[in-house]
Structure 1
Amino acid sequence: MVQTAVAGNDTGLPLKELAHRHGLGAAGALPSLPGYVRQLWAYRHFIGEYANAKVSSSLGDTRLGMFWQVLTPLINAAVYYLIFGVILGGARGGGNFIAYLCTGVFIFSFTQSVVQNGVQAITGNLGLIRALHFPRASLPLAVVLVEARNLIASMLVLISIVLISGEPITLQWLLIVPALLLQAIFNAGLAMLTARLGSKVTDLKQLIPFIMRIWMYCSAVLYSAQKFEKAFHGWKLQVIEANPMLVFIELMRHALMENVQLASPPMRLWIQSIVWALLVGIGGFVYFWRGENGYGRG
C-alpha cells in the first residue's frame, strides 16, 4: 500500500507534506481546539434540529405536551411553598417569599435539568455516535439548547408570579438577560464536563439526583441565604457564598425583586458569576474536547 502511494506521488514532495497541502490529516487525530470550534459552528444547524427532535420525542406522547416544560417547575414551587412556606413558616418571615422561592426553584431547575440530561449525552446516544461522524460536543450543547428553550417558557411564568406577588417592574429587570446568558455559558461547560464523566463512569447518573439535591440545599433555593450567616463564619461562609448556583439565583432575585436581602453585594455577585461562567464554560469545553476520540469506543 505504501509503495502504491509513493508510486502515485509524481510531485516529488513527501507524502505528509502532500497530504497537508490537500487538507488531509491522520485518521482519528484530535482536531486542534480552534478547528474543533469551527466544526461545531459548521454543525450548528444539526445541533438545532437535534434539539428540536429531543423536545418532540420527550413530550410527544403526553396530552399536555410542551406545557410540561412550565408545569414541572411550577408544581415543584407549589410543593416547596407548602412545606417551607406554610408548614415550616417561611412565608411568615417577612418579604415576598413567593417570588423569592419561585425564583430559586426556576433558576436552579435550569442547571439541574442540564446536569441530569448532560450526564447521559454520550451514553444515551452511542448508536448515533458510532454511525455518524460529527463533533461529539454537539450532543451536550443540544441538551443546553433544549433546556434554554424550556427556560424561556418558564421565565414567562416566573415573571407573571413575581408581578402577581406585588413586585414592580424596574430598570433592574434589564439584568435578567445577562444573568441568564452567564448561567447558560456555565451550564454548557457543566454539560460537557458531566457528559465526559458520564461516559467514563456510567453509574454517575445514579448519583446525580443525590448530588443535585445536596447542591439545592446549599444554594438557598428554599430559604433565605442569611441562614448561612448564622451557621457558618470566616472562610466557610465565603465558600458557601461563592457557590455558583447561589450566585446565579441571587443575581436573578436582585433583578426581579425590589427589596431583597442578598447573600453578597450585587457587584461581587456579578464578578463571581463571570468568573464561574468562564472557568466552567471554557474548562468544561476543553475537558470534553480532550476526550473527543474516545467517545463511543469500548
Structure 2
Amino acid sequence: MSSQTISPPFAVGAAPPSGLPGETPREFALRHGLTVSGQRPSLGAYVRQLWARRHFITAFATAKLTAQYSQARLGQLWQLMTPLLNAAVYYFIFGILLGTSKQVPDFVPFLVTGVFIWTFTANSIMAGTKAISGNLGLVRAVHFPRAALPVAFALQQFQQLLFSMGVLLLILMGFGEFPEPSWLLAVPALALQAAFNTGLAMAMARISARTPDVAQLMPFLLRTWMYASGVMWSISTILKDHDLPEWVMLGLQYNPAAVYIDLVRFALIDSYTSAQLPPHVWAVALGWAALCGVGGFMYFWKAEERYGRG
C-alpha cells in the first residue's frame, strides 16, 4: 500500500503567508477562520454548551454536597443541625426573651419554616461568592462554560434543601401540621426561589471573581437582610401595628426573601393557609425569579472570557 504525502501549506522554514495588501490583522484572522482564544460565545451557543454539561453539573453538585461535612464526626447530619440550632437560638431570643411568640400563631412552625427557607437563599449566595474565586485551578486548567460552577453550587444547596425539607415536614407534623393539598403549593414556591437563588449566585460569582473581599462582607449583608425578611417575626403584624414610612412598607412587602418564606408558610402552616394571601405575592415571586434568574445569567455570561485571568 502506497502512502500519500500531504504537502504543507507553505514550505518548511519559510514565513507563513502574509495578508492581502491593505488587509488588517483582524481581517486576515477572519478570512482564515481564526478566533480569539477564550472568546465569549454567543448567548445561544453558551446555553447549549451549558446544557451539554448538565451531567457534569449534577455530578459536581452531588460530590460537593457529599464532601461538605466529610471531616465532621456527624457528617451530613450537620446539614440539618445547623438550621435547627439557629432556630433554637432565635426561639430563645425572639420567642421567649422578646415575647414574639405571643404575637405570632404557631410560632415554632412559623420560625422553623422561616429559618430553613432563609438558609436556602443565604447559603446559595455564599456558595456563589466562592464559585469562581474558590475554583481557580479548575477554571484555568479546563475549558468549559464557567456558569456551570455557580449553577452547580446553587444545585448543591437545592439538593440540601430537599434533604432538609423532609425533617421540616416531620417537625411541622410534630406540632399538629399534617399533610393537606395546600402543601403542594410549596413545590412551585421552592422552584421559583431556586431560580432566584441561582441568578443571585451567578451575579455574586462574577462580582467576587474580581473582588474576592466581597465574600468577607456578605455575612454582614445577609444577616441584615435576614432581619428584614420576617424570619423571626411577622411582617404583616409590623405593618399593621406600626406607622412606617411608605418606602419601608414597600421594601418589606416586596422583599424577595420574605415573599418566598411567606409562600412556603402559606402552603404548610394551617393558620396561614386559612388566612387570605395577598394577591401580589405569587406575581412578585415570579417576577423576582425571572429578573434574577435571567438577569444573573446574562450578567455572568457578559464576563465569560475574563474568568480565571490574573
With normalisation by structure 1, the TM-score equals 0.90
Residue 10 of structure 1 is matched in structure 2 by none
Moved segments of 4+, more than 6 Å: 261-264
Match of 1:194 among 182, 204, 207: 204
The letter of the residue matching 1:38 is: R
Higher helix share: 1
Q: Please name the residue that 1:185 is paired with.
A: 195
Counterparts in 2 of 1:107-146, with a 5 A limit? Answer: 107-146=117-156
> Offset at 1:294?
0.4
Contact kept? 2:182, 2:273, Cα under 8 Å:
no
Which amino acid in the other structure matches residue 81 of structure 1? Y
Of the three residues 227, 249, 253, the one matched with 2:238 is: 227
Q: For residue 9 of structure 1, what is the aligned residue in structure 2?
A: none
Do the aligned partners of 2:130 and 2:205 also contact (CA within 8 Å) in 1? yes
Question: In structure 2, the residue corresponding to 1:62 is in which secondary structure?
Answer: coil
Asked if the contact 1:105/1:221 (under 8 Å) is kept, the reply is yes
Matched position secondary structure for 2:271: coil
1:259 and 2:237 aligned? no
Q: Distance in 2 between matches of 1:289 and 1:115?
A: 18
The answer to whether the 8 A contact 2:65-2:160 is kept is: no
| Aligned pair partner of 2:113 in 88, 103, 122 | 103
Structure 1 residues 102, 224: closer, same or farther in 2, change over 3 A?
same
Answer yes or no: is 1:207 the counterpart of 2:221.
no
CA distance in 1, matches of 2:36, 2:275: 52
CA–CA separation in structure 1 for the residues paired with 2:188 and 2:273: 21
Q: What aligned pairs does 1:157-176 form with structure 2 within 5 A after superposition? A: 157-176=167-186
1:247: which partner in 2?
A: 259
1:263 Cα deviation after fit: 11
Partner in structure 1 of residue 4 of structure 2: none
**What CA RMSD, in Å, does the superposition of the two structures yield over aligned residues?**
2.2
Answer yes or no: is 1:296 the counterpart of 2:299: no
Q: CA deviation at 1:18?
A: 6.6
What is aligned with 2:289?
277
Give the whole-Å Cα distance in 2 for the aligned partners of 1:246 and 1:77.
17
Deviations 1:163-190 (A, max 9, x none): 1112232211110110000000000000
Could you say if the C-alpha distance between residues 56 and 263 of structure 1 is closer, same or farther in structure 2, counting changes exceeding 3 Å?
same
Alignment partner of 2:41 out of 26, 31, 45: 31
* 2:161 equivalent in structure 1: 151
Change in Cα spacing, 1:112 to 1:231, as seen in structure 2 (3 Å) is farther
The one-letter code matched in structure 1 to 2:238 is K
**Equivalent position of 1:49 in the other structure:** 59
Show CA shifts across 1:234-259 (max 9, x none): 34312221000010000011001122
Contact 1:247 1:272 in 2 (8 A): yes
In the alignment, the residues of structure 2 paired with residue 200 and residue 18 of structure 1 have an alpha-carbon distance, to the nearest angstrom, of: 34
Matched letter for residue 265 of structure 1 = L
What is the aligned residue count?
287
Offset at 1:4? 8.2
Distance in structure 2 (CA, Å) of the matches to 1:199 and 1:262:
46
**One-letter identity of the residue aligned with 1:148:** F
1:269–1:155 distance in 2 versus 1, CA, 3 Å: same
Say whether 1:216 aligns with 2:226.
yes
Indicate how the Cα distance of structure 1 residues 193 and 269 shifts in structure 2: closer, same or farther if over 3 A, else same: same
**Which amino acid in the other structure matches residue 276 of structure 1?**
W
Unaligned runs of 5+ in 1: 7-13
Q: TM-score if structure 2 supplies the norm length?
A: 0.87
Q: Greater shift after overlay, 40-49 or 222-231? A: 222-231
Unpaired runs of 5+ residues, structure 2, are 1-14, 21-27
